[in-house]
Amino acid sequence: MKRIPIACYFILLLAPFAQPELTVAEDQLSDFTRPNFQVSRPPINNKIQPDRAMHADLSTFANEAWILPVRSSHLSPGPVKPRSLKMPGLQPFFLVGEDPHSLVWLRQRAAKLQEMGAAGLAVEVADTEALARIRAAAPGITILPVNGNDIATRLQIEHYPVLITATSLEQ
């Protein structure tokens, strides 16, 4: 089975949040740094795109059965010690599995996760039915099946469920 690097999933998850920023080198704007044109987005399917970032529900674009099962050998269900992070600009996301603890965690925090615009990564999923149960625990939130080993290594975490924001890592 062909594996897709975790970086590809992050690019897809975070692409809607990318917004160009103007960096000013001096106190006065030069002709080079002064914005003198309006960026426009072409309409898709004859619909005008809004100017604000939107959450992409990538699950509607492809049948994910080909990627299942997803197993993350570096992660397991369990307690996570909260700690602060310094990752400016990182959009909130969370890691969950199909275990009962993750499903309860998702149900309890679904409103907060949706309010903060968090996207979910299901790091332990056996089949499409398990993925459906995970998504049913937090309706309206994008949750994609992804191997979480790279994230676990980079963030030095061993357990899920966990919420990762620009400033903290917490359960």
Q: Is the pLDDT of residue 41 over 60?
A: no
The mean pLDDT of the chain is: 80
Q: Which CATH class is domain 53-170?
A: alpha beta
For the chain, what are the domain ranges?
53-170
Tokens representing 75? 């992660």
Q: How does pLDDT run across 74-84, given as a tens digit for each residue?
A: 999 999 999 99
Cβ 98 vs Cβ 122: under 8 Å: yes
Q: What is the pTM of this model?
A: 0.65
What sign does the dihedral 138-169-160-6 (CA atoms) show? positive
12-24, pLDDT tens digit by residue?
Answer: 555 555 555 555 5
